[in-house]
Copies of this chain bind each other. A is one copy, B any other.
Amino acid sequence: MFSRACQRLLLPRYLVQNSSKVLLSSKKALPVYTKNFTKFSNYRFYSSKGDVKLTSEVYPSLKRFEHFKRLTSDDIVHFKQVLDNDDNLVLTADLDFFNEDHLRKYKGQSSLVLKPKTTEQVSKILKYCNENSLPVVPQSGNTGLVGGSNPVFDEIVLSLANLNKIRSFDNVSGILKADAGVILENADAFLAENGFIFPLDLGAKGSCFIGGNVATNAGGLRLLRYGSLHGSVLGLEVVLPDGTVLNSLNSLRKDNTGFDLKQLFIGSEGTLGIITGVSVLCPTRPKAVNVAFLGVESYEAVQKAFTESKNYLSEILSAFEFMDLNSQKLSKEFLKQKSHPLDEEHPFYILIETSGSNKDHDDVKLESFLEYAMENEIVSDGVVAQDETQLKTLWNWRESVSEASTIYGGVYKYDVSIPIQDLYRLVEDVKVRLSDFNLIGETEEFPVKDAIGYGHIGDGNLHLNVAVRRYSKEVESCLEPFVYEWIKKHNGSISAEHGLGFQKKNYIGYSKSDIEINLMKQLKKLYDPKLILNPYKYINFDK
* Residues in chain A within 8 A of chain B (CB atoms): 170, 172-173, 216-217, 219, 223, 227-228, 230-232, 244-248, 250-261, 263-264, 266-268, 272, 284, 286-287, 303, 306-307, 310-316, 355-358, 361, 364-365, 417, 419-421, 458-461, 491-500, 504, 508, 511-513, 515-517, 519-520, 522-523, 526, 538-539
Contact = CB atoms under 8 A, between A and B. Distances in A.
Please tell me how many copies of the chain the complex holds: 2
The 9 A-B pairs with the shortest beta carbon distances in the complex, nearest first, are: A231-B231, A263-B263, A314-B357, A255-B493, A254-B496, A252-B417, A257-B511, A361-B361, A227-B231
A454 to B, nearest CB: 15
B254 A515 contact: no
A254 to B, nearest CB: 4
B219 A227 contact: no
Contacts of A461: 253-254
A364 to B, nearest CB: 7
Contacts of A173: 419-420, 460
A254 B420 contact: no
13 contacts: A228-B254, A252-B492, A253-B458, A254-B460, A257-B508, A258-B511, A258-B517, A259-B267, A261-B516, A284-B310, A313-B357, A315-B355, A361-B361
B417 A498 contact: no
Contact of A246 (B256, B357, B496, B515): B515
Contacts of A513: 247
Contacts of A307: 172
A516 B246 contact: yes
Contacts of A287: 314
Contact of A223 (B253, B310, B517, B522): B253
B267 A264 contact: no
Contacts of A515: 244-247
Contact of A316 (B223, B315, B459, B511): B315
B253 A417 contact: yes
Given A231-B227, A248-B516, A255 B495 contact: yes
Contact of A232 (B227, B259, B361): B227
Contacts of A357: 311-315, 365
A459 B496 contact: no
A159 B98 CA distance: 54
B244 A493 contact: no
A511 B231 contact: no
A217 B417 contact: no
A539 B261 CA distance: 14
A303 B172 contact: yes
Contacts of A419: 170, 173, 251-252
B260 A516 contact: no
A188 to B, nearest CB: 18
A173 B491 CA distance: 15
A491 B231 contact: no
Contact of A523 (B257, B259, B516): B259
B315 A259 contact: no
Given A230-B263, A261-B519, A361-B361, A284 B311 contact: yes
B516 A255 contact: no
A246 B232 CA distance: 26
